[in-house]
Structure 1
Amino acid sequence: MPLQSTNPLTGKVTRQFDEFTPEQTAAAVREVAGGYATWKTTDFAYRAECLLSLAQVLRARADEFAALMAEEMGKPVTFGRAEVLKCAAVCDYYARNGQAMLASMPVSGSGQEAYVDFAPMGTVLAVMPWNFPFWQVLRVAAPTLMAGNTVVLKHASNVPQCALAIESAFRESAFPDNVFRTLLIGARQVEAVLDHDSVIGVSLTGSEGAGSKVASAAGARLKKCVMELGGSDPFVVLADADLDKAARVGAISRCGNAGQTCIAAKRFIVMDEVFDAFVEALSREMDKLTMGDPMAEDTVVGPMSSTGLRADLHDQVERCKAAGGKVVKGGVLPEGDGAFYPLSIIVDAPFDADVCHEELFGPVALVFRATDEDQAVAMANDTPFGLGGSVWTGDGERGLAFARRIEAGAVVVNGQVRSDPLLPFGGIKRSGFGRELSAFGIREFVNVKSVIRD
Structure 2
Amino acid sequence: MIITVNPATGEQLESYPELTGDEIDARLDKAQAAYQDWRKTALGERTELLSNLAQTYEANKDKLARMCLAEMGKTYASAIAEVEKCAALFRHLAQDGPAMLEPERWSLGDGKIAEGRWLPQGPVLAVMPWNFPYWQVARFLAPTILAGNVALLKHASSVQGVARLMEEMLIEAGGPAGLFQNLSIKSDKVHAIIADDRVVAVTLTGSEGAGRAVAEQAGRYLKKVVLELGGSDPFIVMPSADLDAAVAQAVKARIQNTGQSCICGKRMIVHTDIYDAFMQKFSDAMRAVKAGDPMDETTDMGPLSSFEQRQTVLDQLALAKEHGAKLDFGGEALDREGAYMSAGILTGVDPDGPFASEELFGPVAMVFRARNIDDAIRIANAIPFGLGSSVWTSDDGERERFIRDIEAGMTAVNQMLASAPEAPFGGIKRSGHGRELSRHGLHEFMNLKTVMLPA
Residue in structure 1 matched with residue 73 of structure 2 by the alignment: 74
Which secondary structure does the structure 2 equivalent of 1:14 belong to? strand
Which secondary structure does the structure 2 equivalent of 1:273 belong to? coil
Deviation at 1:336, TM superposition (A): 2.8
Alignment length, in residue pairs? 453
Instruction: List per-residue Cα deviations over 1:365-391 (Å, max 9, x = no partner).
Output: 000011010011111011110000011
Kept after mapping to 1: 8 A contact 2:93/2:142: yes
- Return the alpha-carbon distance in structure 2 between the equivalents of residues 74 and 126 of structure 1: 23
Q: Does 1:342 align with 2:335?
A: no
Deviation at 1:281, TM superposition (A): 1.1
Residue in structure 2 matched with residue 130 of structure 1 by the alignment: 130
- Return the alpha-carbon distance in structure 1 between the equivalents of residues 104 and 38 of structure 2: 23
Which secondary structure does the structure 1 equivalent of 2:119 belong to? strand
Kept after mapping to 2: 8 A contact 1:51/1:92: yes
* Structure 2, unpaired ranges of 5+: none
- Return the alpha-carbon distance in structure 2 between the equivalents of residues 110 and 145 of structure 1: 37
- Return the alpha-carbon distance in structure 2 between the equivalents of residues 216 and 401 of structure 1: 36
Kept after mapping to 2: 8 A contact 1:9/1:339: yes
Taking a change above 3 Å as real, the CA distance of residues 429 and 110 of structure 1, as seen in their structure-2 partners, is: farther
Q: Aligned ranges for residues 48-127 of structure 1 at < 5 Å? A: 48-111=47-110, 112-127=112-127
Residue in structure 1 matched with residue 434 of structure 2 by the alignment: 434
Residue in structure 1 matched with residue 261 of structure 2 by the alignment: 261
Q: Aligned ranges for residues 82-231 of structure 1 at < 5 Å? A: 82-111=81-110, 112-231=112-231
Kept after mapping to 2: 8 A contact 1:263/1:417: yes
- Return the alpha-carbon distance in structure 1 between the equivalents of residues 372 and 395 of structure 2: 16
- Return the alpha-carbon distance in structure 2 between the equivalents of residues 88 and 397 of structure 1: 38
Q: Which amino acid aligns with 2:33?
A: G
Kept after mapping to 2: 8 A contact 1:49/1:174: no
Deviation at 1:33, TM superposition (A): 1.1
Kept after mapping to 2: 8 A contact 1:386/1:431: yes
- Return the alpha-carbon distance in structure 1 between the equivalents of residues 289 and 60 of structure 2: 27
Q: Which amino acid aligns with 1:181?
A: Q
- Return the alpha-carbon distance in structure 2 between the equivalents of residues 316 and 6 of structure 1: 23
Deviation at 1:364, TM superposition (A): 0.8
Which secondary structure does the structure 1 equivalent of 2:126 belong to? strand
Residue in structure 2 matched with residue 41 of structure 1 by the alignment: 40
Kept after mapping to 2: 8 A contact 1:70/1:77: yes
Residue in structure 2 matched with residue 423 of structure 1 by the alignment: 423
Q: Which amino acid aligns with 1:82?
A: A
Kept after mapping to 1: 8 A contact 2:121/2:149: yes
Q: Aligned ranges for residues 341-360 of structure 1 at < 5 Å? A: 341-360=341-360
Q: Which amino acid aligns with 1:186?
A: K
Q: Which amino acid aligns with 1:367?
A: V
Taking a change above 3 Å as real, the CA distance of residues 169 and 396 of structure 1, as seen in their structure-2 partners, is: farther
Q: Which amino acid aligns with 1:36?
A: Y
Kept after mapping to 1: 8 A contact 2:292/2:303: yes
Residue in structure 1 matched with residue 248 of structure 2 by the alignment: 248
Q: Which amino acid aligns with 1:334?
A: L
Answer with 5-14 or 106-115: which moved more: 106-115
Deviation at 1:363, TM superposition (A): 0.7
Which secondary structure does the structure 2 equivalent of 1:188 belong to? helix
Normalised by the size of structure 2, how large is the TM-score? 0.97
Instruction: List per-residue Cα deviations over 1:2-43 (Å, max 9, x = no partner).
Output: 111111011121111110111111111211110010100011
Kept after mapping to 1: 8 A contact 2:195/2:218: no
Residue in structure 2 matched with residue 19 of structure 1 by the alignment: 18
Kept after mapping to 2: 8 A contact 1:98/1:147: no
- Return the alpha-carbon distance in structure 2 between the equivalents of residues 3 and 155 of structure 1: 11
Cα RMSD of the aligned pairs, angstroms, is: 1.2
- Return the alpha-carbon distance in structure 1 between the equivalents of residues 216 and 149 of structure 2: 23
Which secondary structure does the structure 1 equivalent of 2:129 belong to? coil
Instruction: List per-residue Cα deviations over 1:406-440 (Å, max 9, x = no partner).
Output: 11010000001111111110010110000000010
Deviation at 1:110, TM superposition (A): 4.6
Q: Which amino acid aligns with 1:421?
A: P
Which secondary structure does the structure 2 equivalent of 1:240 belong to? coil
Kept after mapping to 2: 8 A contact 1:400/1:413: no
Residue in structure 2 matched with residue 444 of structure 1 by the alignment: 444
Kept after mapping to 2: 8 A contact 1:115/1:451: yes
Kept after mapping to 2: 8 A contact 1:235/1:266: yes
Residue in structure 2 matched with residue 325 of structure 1 by the alignment: 325
Kept after mapping to 1: 8 A contact 2:128/2:136: yes
Kept after mapping to 1: 8 A contact 2:127/2:204: yes
Instruction: List per-residue Cα deviations over 1:115-140 (Å, max 9, x = no partner).
Output: 11111000000110000000000001
Answer with 213-222 or 189-198: which moved more: 189-198
Q: Percent identity?
A: 44
Q: Which amino acid aligns with 1:390?
A: S
- Return the alpha-carbon distance in structure 1 between the equivalents of residues 27 and 160 of structure 2: 16
Instruction: List per-residue Cα deviations over 1:198-239 (Å, max 9, x = no partner).
Output: 210001111111111111111111100000112100000111
Which secondary structure does the structure 2 equivalent of 1:410 belong to? coil
Kept after mapping to 2: 8 A contact 1:396/1:413: no
Deviation at 1:349, TM superposition (A): 1.9
Kept after mapping to 1: 8 A contact 2:333/2:339: no
- Return the alpha-carbon distance in structure 2 between the equivalents of residues 148 and 331 of structure 1: 46
- Return the alpha-carbon distance in structure 2 between the equivalents of residues 366 and 265 of structure 1: 10
Which secondary structure does the structure 2 equivalent of 1:419 belong to? coil
- Return the alpha-carbon distance in structure 2 between the equivalents of residues 375 and 335 of structure 1: 40
Answer with 425-434 or 299-308: which moved more: 299-308
Residue in structure 2 matched with residue 382 of structure 1 by the alignment: 382
- Return the alpha-carbon distance in structure 2 between the equivalents of residues 334 and 384 of structure 1: 32
- Return the alpha-carbon distance in structure 1 between the equivalents of residues 397 and 275 of structure 2: 23
Superposed structure 1 runs of 4+ greater than 4 Å apart: none
Residue in structure 2 matched with residue 372 of structure 1 by the alignment: 372
* Structure 1, unpaired ranges of 5+: none
Instruction: List per-residue Cα deviations over 1:277-335 (Å, max 9, x = no partner).
Output: 11111122224433111122332211001111111111111222222222222133333
